[in-house]
Each structure stands twice: as structure tokens, then as C-alpha cells.
Structure 1
Amino acid sequence: MKIALLGYGRMGKEIEKIALQRGHEIVIKYAGKESYNINDADVAIDFSLPNAAYDNIANCLENGVPIVSGTTGWLERYNDIVALCEAQKGAFIYASNFSLGVNIFFELNKQLAKMMEQLNEYNVAIEEIHHTKKLDAPSGTAITLAEGIIDQSSKQEWELDGTPSDTSIPIKAIRTPDVPGTHTVNYDSTIDSIAINHTAHNRQGFALGAVVAAEWLVDKEGVYSMKDVLNLG
């Protein structure tokens, strides 16, 4: 499989290692200034910057190249990409986190939210910790966790640095050097606390998930998620 890496920072380089180990070829390494022909690739993986992701994804879809994107911070235009993918009969996967473990964590989060819905004495909050070079806050993973709780409860919104309420989920974003990503969902009452946690030890899990998603997406048509890739129902 010939892969285009759109974004060649730390994640791009980690994806390159995993892809080569799995027998694939990297035909494009785009770091933001180089010219390239996207049609040289069978599939593209985008881990670029928020202000570049939309154009990268659109270029792939307009040229019939399946595209997997893990860039966060551009999702106000997500529906435009969905419409473009459908119009072009393309193939697209976006995930706030491609880690296989995190996507299982997403499903656990939804199940726990459903179980906790009738227990009004508990307040739910989310905390995420990332490296200081991460540009957006809260993380896309934290937002996905919040959306999963909202889908299964009476909560209506999330709020960065907010306080717990009947309708809102507070998210605390911490930036500290050399942390790949830690996410905690905490239900707290005056009696006890219940928490679920995912800690990434390195970036290899994110890279592996992105390559697995790209392998799965080739020869498909439509807009998918990691739930489809992992057959999580």
C-alpha cells in the first residue's frame, strides 16, 4: 500500500515506522511546504495542523484518494467534509484518537454514563493531560468522551475549566512536558468516587491505529469511524 503522510511531525514519523514495519511504502511526506501529487498514493493519513487539515482532506477527496485524519481543532468544518465525501463518493475516517485502547475506552465511557444516569448524587468531570506542544485544548479525545456522556445522559454540554452542574460536564486540560496523553472520567459524590482512566505510554498506539484504519479504508466508500474499523457495534 502506498501511503501519503500529510503532516510529518512526531506523529507522522511514528506512523512511518509502523507503516514500514507492516510492509507499506511511504510515497509522500508533506510537512507543509513541499509540492506533491496526491494521486501517487493509495491512501493518505493526515496528522497536520488545524489550519491545514480541511484543505488536505478536501484535496484527497477531490482526487479520489481515501483519507484518514487524526488532526483536531478543525471540526467546525467537519460537516462540509462529510458533504464533500458523499458528493465525490470518497472514503474518509476522522478520529479524535486512533489508539485501539482509547476506542475501547470510549465504549466503556458510554456504558458507565448510561449506568450512572439515574444516580443524581454523582457529578461527572473529565481531566486530560498532554504534552506542552499540543495546540488545542481540550483534546479531541476529551471532547469525544464528553459527547459520549451527553449521548447517554441528561447532560447538554461540556465546558473547559467549568464546574459540575446538572447540564454541563467540566473538562480540565493540563499541559506538561512529554506526556503522550492521559484521560480520566470521574464521577464524584460525598460518599465515594468512581473513575475510569486511559494512559498512553507512547505514541505507538496512536500510529498503529491510524495505519490499521488506513488499511481498512482502502477500496471502501463513505464516512466511517474507528467503531467501524474495530467492529465495536
Structure 2
Amino acid sequence: MKPTLFFDFDGTLSDPVLLFEHYVVALTGEFKEAHGGSGEAWYSLTRKMLWELTQDFADYFSANPFADYHPYMNSLYARSAQVVCEHIGSTLPSDPVGFARAMQAVALRKCNAFYDGATEALALLHQQGYPIVMASGQESGFLQAALEGAGVVHIPQGWFGPDLINCAKESTRYFERIFEALQISPASAVVIDDLAPAVLWAEELGAKAVQAQLANSQPRETSNPNRPVLTCWHDFPLQLERLLEK
């Protein structure tokens, strides 16, 4: 039986710098079309809002890795809705969290920042019979919409973000909960991720790991110099085959 492949999103499948820019532009277009006003003003507001929320998220869960995920994320979505409504001089919708999630999904479906060869590699691995699952720090709704934008939403069997397991991607607990949810052994998993702590957590549980090192991903830091490194998606299916032969 083939192992299950767990793919990170940002910095592994998708260029995070390019996606952020695409996402800002897409949201700007949605806001301008729906509410009018200056495109430049919407762009500036959207970029600043997303950057601040991203930093707040990182700071909060770095300091509180085992915090309850859902209340905090809902507060971020509500804050984003409030920023938009204040800008247009409108009252908050009855469901500000749902409003923000819906706008996020619409915009992400218009974005695609996949690395060169990533789409083809996923398709080939899927054809070869590998079970493919997303294991990202992004929420499942974000992942589904972003994968729709990239044209590969049909490939993964699951879109694991922290919301599905109520656990931020900040410790081994994240992968433990995913493996438990899928009822698979870590020994039957291969984790592909650009962040050194994430691949180390997977290895500590007994999974195999490949560390991605692609454009605009994090600089490579590793405690294991023998760990396989993904530098080109076109080469990855063969690289994976060789890893599994060991």
C-alpha cells in the first residue's frame, strides 16, 4: 500500500509572496465592485489589514500553541469585516465571520501562485495512486478555495487546516491529531513541508519527511542534514520513489 502524502501549502505548493499579492488584488477588485470607491484606497486598506491580521495570528499562536483555535480565528474574521464596514460607513452584517469567509473564498478562487511543476507533480502522484492530503497552517476553507483557484481541488482527499482539528500548526500535536483523524500510522505517512519545525515534528512521530526549499519559502534550517530536500517539483515524483525505496 502506498503511503499517504501530506502536503503543506504556503512555501511548499504555492509561492506565499506571490499568492499574497494576487489575493490582495483579487479582494481589492471584489470590494471596489461591490462598494465603489477608489481602487487605490481599497488596495492600501486590504494590504494593511491582511498583513496585520497575519502577524497577529503568528504572534498569538507562537505564544499560545495549544490555545483553542476557533474563538481566536473567528475574532480575526470579525475584525476584518469590521475594517471593511468602517471603510464604507456601513454597519456590520449579522454574520461578520461568514461575510469575511465568503469574501475570502471568492477572492482565492481567482488566485493561483503554484510553483512551476507543482500542478503536474500532484496530478502524476494522484494518478499513481498516492493518497494526498493537505496539512497546512491555513484553514480548510482557505485551502479549498485556493486549490480551486489552482485547478487541483479534486486531488486531495482532505484539506486539513487547524480548524478541522482545533489545533494550530505549532507542535507535534498538530500532526498527531491529523493522523488520529485519518486513523493512519505515522509510519505510513510522508510529510512535505518547507518549515524545519514542521518536518521535525513529523519525523519525531515516526513519519518520513521531505523539506521544501523553493522560491520565497523560508530559508532552510534543519537538524537533519540527510533529510531529502525538494527544490524542483518536476523532479519530485522520482525523488519520492527513491526515498521510499530506502
TM range (shorter): 0.3 to 0.5
Q: Normalized per residue, which structure has more helix?
A: 2
Q: Normalized per residue, which structure has more strand?
A: 1
The TM-score normalised by the length of structure 2 is 0.33
Q: Using CA pairs below 8 Å that are at least 6 residues apart, which structure has the higher relative contact order? A: 2
The TM-score normalised by the length of structure 1 is 0.34
